[in-house]
Amino acid sequence: MKHFFKLMLRNPGGLIGLVILTIAILVALFGPLVFPTSPWRMVQRPFLPPFTLSTVPLGTDALGRDVFAGIIYGARVSLLVGLVSTLVALAVGVPLGAIAGYFGGRIDDALMRFTEFFQTIPSFALAIVLVAILQPSIYSIVGSIAIVSWPPVARLVRGEVLSLRTREYVQAAIVTGQTHRWIIWREILPNALSPVIVLASLMVATAILLESSLSFLGLGDPNLISWGYMVGAGRTVVRQAWWITVFPGFAILLSVLGLNLVGEGLNDALNPRLAGNGR
């Protein structure tokens, strides 16, 4: 584990990503405690440019709401949606892929055709349709993002399991009379974990983008402020008041970039052979 962190830190990109991500998480956790003003409250005159008043450092939007407060509160929604929908996607994709890869044959065929069914529909279109049908709420958004993002997990896990199940230690487990469930759980999955972790970190980034896109289209949870909603709300006045869209957009960019850098750092740390001049 120590070795792993050393590798992670040796990669400057991964380190930067980790710093960005830590800041984002801290803001999401403690920001609302430090800035108790609701992001929906009108605090100043509309269209106040940034850096003019120290109480509203990033200016106000069309209704006089604090952009800075919006970004602080939006971090919660964005990160929460990213994290939870990824967890749900993993909870669906990992077992499905593991079962398909381990048992093979007809079961594999059936599960993979089912997976392909989801993969053939453009994911963003499916997410829009699902949220529109289910009414926009934080649950329907998380659910629909999870539904469109589990198939790659299932395919990845299936591929890993397919190669791991022929390993000698898995055969040894079969010969010693262990049950399928235990073999998958103890012998196979722990060894298939590293690529899944890497994929998951990138999925969180994609989920944040998806949530932003949905909110941008007005399909966000109406009771929660999110970065995508802010960009969407400010887009009509982007020429007069650039700050309303640019700052939340920058927040999205930074957190997605941070997650991608972490993902790459994880990849290098977990697959030392791919890290170029490894061993």
Partner 1 sequence: MPESSSISIRDLKIALPPGSERPYAVDGISFDLAAGDIVCVVGESGSGKSMCAHALMGLLPGSVTIESGEVLFEGKNLLLSDDDGWRGIRGRGIAMVFQEPMTALNPLMRIGDQMMEMFEAHGLLSPPERRQKALDLAREVGLPDPERIVRAYPHQLSGGQRQRAMIALALALEPAVLVADEPTTALDVTTQAQILKLIRNLQSSRDMAVMFITHDFGVVADIADRVVVLRHGRVVEQGSAAEVLGHPEHPYTRALLAAVPSLEPPVRMPITGQSRAVEVIGLDKTYVTSGGWFRPDRKVQAARQVNFEILKGETLGLVGESGSGKSSVARLVTRLIEPDRGTVRLGDIDFTSLGGSALREQRRRIQMIFQDPFASLNPRRKVGAIISDGPIAGGADPATARQRARDLLAMVGLDPLAASRYPHEFSGGQRQRIGIARALALDPEIIVADEAVSALDVSVQAQVLALLEDLKARLGLSVLFITHDLRVAAQICDRIAVMQRGEIVELKPTAALFASPEHPYTRELLDAVPGLRSPSHAA
Q: Which residues bind partner 1 (CB under 8 A)?
A: 167-169, 171-179, 182, 186-187, 190-191, 277, 279
Quote the least distance from Cβ 268 to partner 1, whole Å. 16
As given in the structure block, the two tokens for residue 164 are 């791991």
Q: Which is nearer to partner 1, 114 or 169 (CB)?
A: 169
As given in the structure block, the two tokens for residue 11 are 């990669």
How many C-beta atoms surround the C-beta of residue 221 within 10 A? 22
Q: Phi-psi bin for 226: left (phi > 0), alpha (psi -120 to 50), beta? A: beta
How many C-beta atoms surround the C-beta of residue 247 within 10 A? 21
Q: Which is nearer to partner 1, 6 or 41 (CB)?
A: 6
Q: Which is nearer to partner 1, 132 or 193 (CB)?
A: 193
Quote the least distance from Cβ 189 to partner 1, whole Å. 10
Quote the least distance from Cβ 171 to partner 1, whole Å. 5
Q: Which is nearer to partner 1, 176 or 223 (CB)?
A: 176
Cβ neighbours of residue 51 closer than 8 Å, sequence gap 6 or more: 57, 58, 59
Q: Which is nearer to partner 1, 9 or 134 (CB)?
A: 9
Pair 189, 90: CB distance under 8 Å: no
Quote the least distance from Cβ 110 to partner 1, whole Å. 18
23 to 19, 84, 204, 233: CA distances (angstroms):
6, 19, 16, 26
Quote the least distance from Cβ 192 to partner 1, whole Å. 10
